[in-house]
Homo-oligomer: A and B are copies of this chain.
Amino acid sequence: MSVPSLPTATTIQVDTRGAVILEEESPDTRDSRGIYLPNYIEPVSHIAVDIGGSLAKVVYFTRSPHPPGSPSIAATRGSSTTVSNLSTPVSASPPEDVSLPLEPSPPPLFAKLNYKLNGALTPAVLDPQNGNNGQGVHLAPPPLASASVSLPDPLDHSRLNESLLRRVSVQHFPGGQLNFEKFETEHIEECVAFVRALIERSAKLNGVSVAEMRGGVKIVATGGGAHRFYELFEHELFVEVRREDEMECLIEGLKFITLIPDEVYYFSDELIHSVSHPYHLLHAGVLERPSPDPPKYAVTFVENPTPQLPCLLVNIGSGVSIIKVNEDGSYERVSGTSLGGGTLWGLLSLLTPATTFDEILELSEKGDNAKVDMLVGDIYGSDYSKLGLKSTMIASSFGKVFKKNGTKGSFSPEDISKSLLYAVSNNIGQIAYMNAEKYGLDRIYFGGFYIRGYAATISTLSYAIRFWSKGTKRALFLRHEGFLGAIGGWIKNIGEGQRGMPLPGKEDEDAPA
C-alpha cells in the first residue's frame, strides 16, 4: 500500500483559538453540535459531504448577525461532568445528569434545516458591490479581524480592497459556526434536498439570486459514495463538485478536530468498570460524588489539546478501517475488519424488532449478555486462573444459544443486542490493539458513527484496549466521531474559494504586528 505524504498540521488554515463546542437546543445527537470559531473570519464557499456505506455526513460553515447557541455545559465544565446516567441514553436534561446526550429520533428535514440555520454560507465571490450591501447577512469586522489581516499579495490589490470593503460594509457576529448534519445513504435524496435548501436560504440571507449563490458554492465530496453520487450532486444542485480521497480526509479531519478543546475524551478505568457493572454502580452506594478525585467516575475531556500524532485511527463505520498516522501526518491504512457497525446493525435488524441503530443501542443497554454468551465460568465452573481467564470473561459469544434437536431457546432482543454489541466492540478493540502494538503507537482514536456516544460501546472498546495492552494503552474518543471525513473534506478546501487571499490562523502568530 502506498504511503501518501500529507500536508503537516501547520497547513490547517482555520484559526481554532477560542473554539467552543455549542450546546444546541436541538434534539439532535451530541455528536452533531456546532463548533463556534470566534477567530475564524474568512469567507467559506464550500459544503463537505462524506458519503459512507450507511450514512452521508455534511459539514458547512455559516455566519450570522445573531450570537451562536450557548456553549455546551459539558464542554465548559470539562472533566468535572458526572456520568451517572451514562449507562442509559439520555436526551438533553439537567446538567448534572448529562454528559453525552443522545437524540430520541431525527427531526424532519426542514425542521432540521430551519432550526440549525441561524446563518448563511458566505462565499467570497459574492461581491458586496453587486447590489447586496445591507440586504444580506450583516457582516461586521470581528474583533480580531483588523489585527489578523496579513499583508496581501502585492499583485492583488483590487481583490483586497473589495474584500475589505465587503467586510466593513456588513455586520455579523464575530467568527462563525461549523455545522454538522447526517443522512442515510440509502436516502441520499434527503441529503441533496438539504444542501439545496441550504444554498437557497443562504442566497436569500445574502440577498443574491440562487444562481449567483450556486456559482459561489462548491460541494466537496468524499467517502466511498463520492464516486457513486458524484453526478447526482452535480446534476441536482448545479454546483461544482470536487472529489477528495476518503482516507486523506479522515486524517485531515482528525488532525483538525483534535485541536478543539473538550473534543477528545476518554473513560477512566473506574468509569469503565462502573459501566460494565451497573449494578455495582447503582447499588453499592460507595460512589464518591462529589469526589475529591472527580474524574474517577466521569468522562475525562481533554481541555488543552497536545500534539496528537503519531497515532492509530480506528474508524468504525459500516466496516472498520485502521489507519496508522505518522508524526509528519503521512498515513497508511494498515488493517481493517468487515465486522463493524453494518454487521451489528444488519444482524440485529434481523434478530430484534429494532428499526434504527439507536433503538438497537437502547435495547442493548437493558440486556444481559450472560444469558446468551458462554462465559469461562459456564465451561470451567470457575476462573481458569492458570491462564488468567476470569469466570466472567466471554468464552463464546452466543455460545448458549444453540440447543440440540432443534430446541431453540427463547432469547430476549435486549440480551441478544448486548451480546452482539460486546462481540463486535471487543473484536474491534482487540484488532486495534494488535495494530497499535505492532506499530508502537500509544494513542488510539476511535472514530466513526458506530460509537454514537453509547457508554457500553465506549466502555467495551476502552476495556479491550486496557485488557490487551495490560493497561499501557488507552482508547481515545471524539465528540464529532462520525464527521472526521466530512471535516477533512471541508478543511482541505479552505482557502480555495478565497482566491489568493492570505489566510489567518496559526501563521498569524508569527506575522509582524
Contacts and interface: CB of A to CB of B under 8 A. Distances in A.
A308 to B, nearest CB: 23
Q: How large is the interface on A (under 10, 10 to 19, 20 to 34, 35 or more residues)?
A: 35 or more
B427 A396 contact: no
Contacts of A351: 347, 350-351
Contact of A406 (B345, B355, B426): B355
Interface in A386-407: 386-388, 394-406
Contacts of A288: none
Contacts of A380: 224, 227-228
Interface of A: 1-2, 4, 52-54, 184, 186-187, 224-225, 227-228, 245-247, 317-319, 333, 335, 337-343, 345-347, 349-351, 355, 357, 372-374, 376, 378-382, 384, 386-388, 394-406, 408, 411, 416, 423, 426-427, 430-431, 434-435, 437-438
Nearest to A333: B387
Nearest to A374: B53
A1 B379 contact: no
Nearest to A227: B381
A287 to B, nearest CB: 30
Contact of A342 (B184, B346, B398, B411): B398
B355 A399 contact: no
A402 B345 CA distance: 6
B339 A423 contact: yes
A120 to B, nearest CB: 30
A396 B184 contact: no
Nearest to A247: B387
A314 to B, nearest CB: 14
A416 to B, nearest CB: 8
B427 A346 contact: no
Contact of A53 (B399, B405, B408, B411): B399
A408 B320 CA distance: 24
B387 A1 contact: yes
A4 B406 CA distance: 41
B343 A397 contact: yes
7 contacts: A1-B387, A187-B404, A319-B394, A338-B373, A338-B397, A343-B397, A346-B398
A355 B227 CA distance: 43
Contacts of A405: 355
B402 A54 contact: yes
A392 B307 CA distance: 38
Contacts of A340: 396-397, 399
Contact of A379 (B225, B349, B379): B225
A483 to B, nearest CB: 18
A399 B319 contact: yes
B381 A1 contact: no
A321 to B, nearest CB: 9
A297 B4 CA distance: 39
Interface hub of A246, A346, A404 (most chain B Cβ within 10 A): A346
Nearest to A183: B404
Contacts of A431: 430-431, 434
Contact of A339 (B387, B416, B427): B427
B337 A430 contact: yes
Closest 7 CB pairs of A and B: A346-B398, A224-B379, A346-B401, A342-B399, A342-B396, A355-B406, A318-B396
Nearest to A411: B350
Given A53-B396, A245-B386, A346 B402 contact: yes
A159 B137 CA distance: 107
Given A184-B404, A350-B401, A386-B245, A378 B53 contact: yes
A374 B1 contact: no
Given A2-B386, A342-B396, A343-B396, 16 more contacts: A53-B374, A53-B378, A53-B395, A187-B404, A224-B376, A224-B384, A225-B379, A227-B380, A319-B394, A319-B395, A339-B339, A341-B396, A342-B374, A342-B397, A342-B400, A346-B372
A29 B343 CA distance: 32
Contacts of A402: 54, 342, 345-346, 349, 357
Given A318-B399, A399-B343, A394 B438 contact: no
A351 B406 CA distance: 13
A163 to B, nearest CB: 37
Contacts of A387: 1-2, 247, 333
Contact of A427 (B337, B382, B388): B337
Nearest to A341: B396
A343 B426 CA distance: 14
Interface hub of A396, A398, A404 (most chain B Cβ within 10 A): A396
